Amino acid sequence: MILFYLLIFTIGLCVGSFLNVCIYRIPREESVIFPSSHCTNCNNRLVWKDLIPIASYLLLKGECRYCKEKISPRYAIIELITAISYVLVLIKYGFSLYSLKYLILISLLIVISLIDIDTMNIYFKTTVFGVVCGIVILAIEGISSGYGVHNYLYYFLGGIIPTIIITLIILMTRGMGWGDVEIFFICGLFLGVKLSMVMTFLSFIIGAIISLFLLYSKKKTRKDPIPFGPFIALGAFFAILMGDMIVNLYMSLYINLI
Ligand SMILES: [Zn+2]
């Protein structure tokens, strides 16, 4: 079992390394496949020993082998976060279609959030990929477990309900962007109604806590825009891992009150 999780961790590190490429290249309108990885400062092509997740960063002491330009620790941190979330999802959902679906969603959300933090933009390429993946996975899930109309509806409503809520918020407050609506829709499509509600609720709580922290620690002022994408991603992440527990807790509180 340990070996299995070690394998998943390693796969997570490698995917994380690819996500870093996506985060860097998508806003620059570059292909995520060609050319192969190169130093962004000296343009030297990186060879296999420069590309081992985390290990290369540590061995090279955070510098490019050729031009000694500092490499941001962010790359290694993203690889580590991807790997840890992969292991957590596998622990919770085992070797199943659910795991695959959530791994895809989490990977996509890591890319969307980091690009949102860097550029304050949500890129169409990433959201289209999300919607297409969501529909394909839903179709596979439906065929393999014999879904009826109500099952499909459960996932489409999962996407549509938060979309309506956020659209109303945007129309009333203009505090969020249309890109955020797209992320909510994708997450809901992957999560279904129940977890989608948990995700929406959590993303606002997390957003409020982090925004207050940023304001009070003077890292941001009231005038600075704060990207909301990362909060939706965190909301979805915790909904995936703890959504059932949160719903049960809420229900038991509710039943105790009446
Ligand atoms: Zn270099």
- Residue ranges covered by each domain of the chain: 1-95, 97-258
Q: How far apart are CA 141 and CA 135, in angstroms?
A: 10
| Cβ partners under 8 Å of residue 89, min gap 6 | 99, 102, 103, 106, 240, 241
Cβ count within 10 A of residue 235: 29
pLDDT number for residue 146: 85
Q: How far does residue 63's CA lie from ligand 1's centre (Å)?
A: 8
Cα 75 to averaged position of ligand 1 atoms, centre (Å): 15
Residue 66 CA to residue 44 CA, distance in Å, equals 7
Low-confidence stretches of the chain (pLDDT < 70) are: 258
Distance (Å) from CA 15 to ligand 1 centroid: 22
User: Which tokens belong to 196?
Assistant: 């989608």
The one-character DSSP state at 63 is: B
pLDDT at 14: 95
Q: Quote the ligand 1 centre to 45 CA distance (angstroms).
A: 9
CA angle centred on 133, ends 179 and 207, rounded to 5°: 35
The pLDDT, as a whole number, for residue 157 is 95
State the distance from the centre of ligand 1 to the C-alpha of 49, rounded, in angstroms: 14
Structure tokens at 10: 């390693």
